Amino acid sequence: MLNQPDSLDLAFTALADRTRRSIVERLSRGEASVSELARPLAMSLPAVMQHIALLESSGLVRSEKIGRVRTCSLDTEALGHAEQWIQQRRVEWDHRLDRLGTYLATLMVKGEENDTKG
């Protein structure tokens, strides 16, 4: 496996582009030929091929050429690493927000106690 931070950099760089995200979204429904992926995009086939090449180099997409047809599919393991990284950040922020909520509740209780004393 690639060094995870490096592979994450590649994955997020690849996903930073709207066209590549649309290709990944399409491939999430199943494999597709390059022609099928290019059909809804307003760009030349060579431009689509460049996007696919970047997705492949990031590890998010695999392709196989059989005869004259190149078929692409998602590499769910690479997507899983990105998802895991995002989930870890979400858990960290949930914990921080929980601690903040506890702290604010403590302040409210102390404020109510001061109001009843005064």
Beta bridge partners of 73: 62
What average pLDDT does the segment 93-103 reach?
A: 90
Q: Check residue 35 and give its pLDDT.
A: 95
Domain 4-75 has CATH 1.10.1740.10: no
What average pLDDT does the segment 4-33 reach?
A: 92
Average pLDDT over the chain, rounded to an integer: 90
Residue 118 above 80 pLDDT? no
